Amino acid sequence: MRRKDREMSVDFAEKVIDESPYGTLALVDKGKDRTYAVNLSIVRLEDRLYFHSAKGGLKVDLLEEGKTYGLSFVSYVHVPDVFSRERLEALAGDPKAVGLLLSRVFTTEYSSAHVFGDLYLVEDPEEKRMAMEAICQKYTPDKMDFFDQAMEVGGPRVQVYGIHIREIYGKRKKLDSQGEELKWQREE
């Protein structure tokens, strides 16, 4: 990671994954010499990520068991508004203050995580059910009364993939209440 001052802990990265509405899986379509990124409903259970899929399609065609894949997650994005209009006008008139405009005005706060992990097709029925239940609990917690029925009908129609996490990184840019960046994992 180039910006070590923004690097966060593994616990932070896991929290980002757990809070993210989706994760983006990076794939390579060698046949067409292009990349393919797909957004997925992903759940993390300890050192594994799980997602479900139809049994066919481009994503399924491109996935290879045992290969290592990269995934990205973003749980927080915010454009800060730390200066009044008057302060911005004063900064704009001061050549020495251009750095403040770049670092605190034309910027974005974020919390992100990146994972590298080994892919496998979940074959074990108990693991598949556990993964699907965790996915449904994350995305439709108020509908869990109907989970058993949904699995009975839809379970045979879907595949579940697991990714064993090998590397995990967290990164954050966040400003404190004074508009100073919280670097080196500093909390407010």
Distance of CA 82 to the CA centre of its chain: 27
- Provide the token pair at 92: 């704009």
Q: What is the pTM of this model?
A: 0.90
- Provide the token pair at 140: 């439709």
Q: What is the pLDDT of residue 117?
A: 98
The pLDDT tens digits for 161-175 are: 999 999 999 999 998
Q: What is the pLDDT of residue 180?
A: 82
Pick the more confident residue, 100 or 31: 31
3 state SS for 74-119: EEEEECCCCCCHHHHHHHHCCHHHHHHHHHHHCCCEEEEEEEEEEE
Summary mean pLDDT of the chain: 93
The pLDDT tens digits for 16-59 are: 999 999 999 999 998 899 999 999 999 999 999 999 999 999 99
What single string gives the DSSP state of each residue in the chain?
---GGGEE-HHHHHHHHHH-S-EEEEEEEGGGTEEEEEEE--EEETTEEEEEE-SSSHHHHH--TT-EEEEEEEEEEE----S-HHHHHHHHT-GGGHHHIIIIIS--EEEEEEEEEEEEE---HHHHHHHHHHHHHHH-GGGGGGHHHHHHHHGGG-EEEEEEEEEEEEEEE-B-TTS-B--TT---
The pLDDT tens digits for 135-152 are: 999 999 999 999 999 999
The pLDDT tens digits for 115-139 are: 999 999 999 999 999 999 999 999 9
Residue type, 113: A
Q: What is the pLDDT of residue 143?
A: 97
Q: What is the pLDDT of residue 151?
A: 94
